[in-house]
Every structure is written in C-alpha cells, then in structure tokens.
Amino acid sequence: MKTLLPWLLWVWMAVVIWAAFFYSPLAAGFIGQSSRVLFFHVPLAWTAFVGFLAAAVWSARYLFFGRRLRDDRAAAVAVEVGFVFCVLATVTGALWARIMWGAYWNWDPRQTSIILVLIFYGAYLSLRGAVEDGEKRARLAAVYALLGVVVTPFFFFIVPRITYSLHPDSVINSRGEVDMESRMLQVLLAAFAGNAALFFWIHNLQCRLRALAEGKARP
C-alpha cells in the first residue's frame, strides 16, 4: 500500500491538472483563460501557509515535548519545502497580477502576506545557517518559528485596512457563504488536497534522508 500512495498522488494531480483546464468553467471577470491560474496559485499559497504552521507545530513540539532532534529536523524541512511552495505561489501570483492588472507587484494585502511569509521563511533559514551547534540551533530556530507564527496574524487583520484589495473576492465572501461555482470549487479543493499531500510526502522523504545522512556521518 505504501508504495502505491505516491502513484495515487501522481494520478490525483494529473486529474486535477486536466480538470483545471477542461472540467472547470472559466470564472467571470477574468481575461481569457487566465482564471485557470486559480487552481495552481491558490493551492500553492495555502500549502505555503500550512507549511509555516506545520513548522511552528514541530518547533513547539521540540521545545516543550522532549527536545527531540527529530522534531527540529521536521520543522527545518517543513520550512525548506514550504519555502519552495511559497516562491511558486508568489511567482504565479505575480504572473497573474501582470495579466490582470498590468503590474507584477502591487502590494495588495494578499501579495504582502505571502511576501511576509516568504521573508520569515528566509529569515528562519538564515538563522539556522548562522548557528553551528545543533542543540543551540534547534532551540533558537524553534523560538523564531513560534515568534513568526505569533506575529503573522497581525498582518492579516491590519493590512487589509491599509489598501483596498485588488484580489478577486475570496472563495468565502463576506456573508460567510461559499461563493464559487461548484465545479470550480471541487477542482480548487482537490488541487489543495493534492498540494498538501505533495508537501507532506516530500517532507517525509526529506526527513528520512536527513536522518540517514546524519546517522551515516557519525563514526
């Protein structure tokens, strides 16, 4: 069963990509086929946030539940993989922005949030690179990851007020109802599930690789 899962994921993602182009209708108000970026950009962004949260959870586990280096490794890998997802989300978002609004970057609130998460990721990785001792590195990085998670919510409720958003209405509109055509929503959620699964699969592989490498390095 375990060896089957990656193949299942491959098939799932293939179907999602097909569905993004052929199953889902176009969204209103977008130029040409560009609304299809939705199925790539949004799940990438959500997964980047999930990665950020996962890193914080593992960091908290490291600090408060036994200081196991395994948890620290998991946090670091979550940031590394999440970083890639974040970069992809930012780039796809910028491309879409270019098509829709003529400029790659507008400091609209969502763009600002994703950039902030990206900067936090980068800062976390810089911190890890600057500490040699394993125990100290784990400890300091874990605290910083938690600080990041504590600070980012401020962003989400202060930034929207500063500028109005160029972003399309969110999936859930102000009334709290889901405001998207049902086929689009299906593909979007399926894409998110696929992205998240991809994240955790790559994460799992990387963690195991690291563990092996560390075990091997020891004489």
Partner 1 sequence: MWRLASNWAAEALAVFAKDWRCEFRTRYALNTLALFAFTTLVVVSASLGPLGTSAARGASVLPVLLWLILLFAGAAGLPRSFVHEEETHTATALRLAATPSALFCGKLAYGLSLVWALELLVAPLFLAMVSLAVRSPGLFVLVLAAGGFGLAAGSTLIAAIIAQAQGRSTLFAVLAFPVLLPLLILVVELTRNAVAGAPAGMALHQLLLYDGTVTIFGLMLFPVVWNP
Partner 2 sequence: MSPTDLRFSGVSRRFGHLAVLAGVSGEVSAGQALLVTGANGSGKSTLLRCLAGLLAPDSGEIECREEGRSLDAAERRRRVGMVAPDIAFYEELTVAENLAFFARLRRARPERPAELLERVGLPGDRMAGALSSGMRQRLRWVWALLHRPRLLLLDEPFQNLDRPGETVTRELLEEHLAAGEGLAVIANPSSLEVSRVAARLELGG
Binding residues among 161-200 for partner 1 as defined by CB under 8 A: 161-162
What is the distance between the alpha carbons of residues 24 and 20, in angstroms, rounded to a whole number? 6
Paired residues of 178 in beta bridges: 172
Which of 185, 188, 167 lies closest to 177, judged by CA?
Answer: 185
Regarding 151 and contact with partner 1 (CB under 8 A), the answer is: yes
Residue with Cβ nearer partner 1 (25 or 66): 66
Judge whether 198 and 16 are in contact, CB under 8 Å: no
Residue with Cβ nearer partner 2 (98 or 136): 136
Site track for partner 1 across 86-105, x = CB under 8 A = --------------------
What is the distance between the alpha carbons of residues 4 and 11, in angstroms, rounded to a whole number? 11
Provide the minimum distance between the beta carbon of 119 and partner 1 in the complex, in angstroms, as a whole number: 5
Paired residues of 172 in beta bridges: 178
In whole angstroms, how large is the CA radius of gyration of the chain?
19
Measure Cα distances from 46 to 41, 50, 91, 123 in Å. 9, 6, 14, 20
Residue with Cβ nearer partner 1 (34 or 113): 113
Binding piece for partner 2, criterion CB under 8 A, among 41-49, 128-136, 161-169, 179-187: 128-136
Provide the minimum distance between the beta carbon of 190 and partner 1 in the complex, in angstroms, as a whole number: 32
Residue with Cβ nearer partner 2 (176 or 219): 219
Residue with Cβ nearer partner 2 (132 or 177): 132
Could you say which of partner 2, partner 1, none residue 218 binds, taking C-beta under 5 to 8 angstroms by partner kind? Answer: partner 2
φ/ψ bin of 173: left (φ > 0), alpha (ψ from -120 to 50), beta (otherwise): beta
The tokens for 184 are 């689009």
Query: How many residues lie near partner 1 (CB under 8 A)?
Result: 30
Regarding 135 and contact with partner 2 (CB under 8 A), the answer is: yes
Please report, as a single letter, which amino acid is at residue 143.
Answer: V
Our measurement of the distance from residue 16's CA atom to the centroid of its chain's CA atoms, rounded to an integer in Å, reads 18
**Residue recorded with tokens 């280096």:** 69
Provide the minimum distance between the beta carbon of 55 and partner 2 in the complex, in angstroms, as a whole number: 23
Binding residues among 47-76 for partner 2 as defined by CB under 8 A: 67
Please report, as a single letter, which amino acid is at residue 194.
Answer: G
Using CB under 8 A, list all residues that contact partner 2. Answer: 67, 132-135, 217-219
Using CB under 8 A, list all residues that contact partner 1. Answer: 63, 116, 119-120, 122-123, 126-127, 130-132, 135-136, 139-140, 142-144, 146-148, 150-151, 154-155, 157-159, 161-162
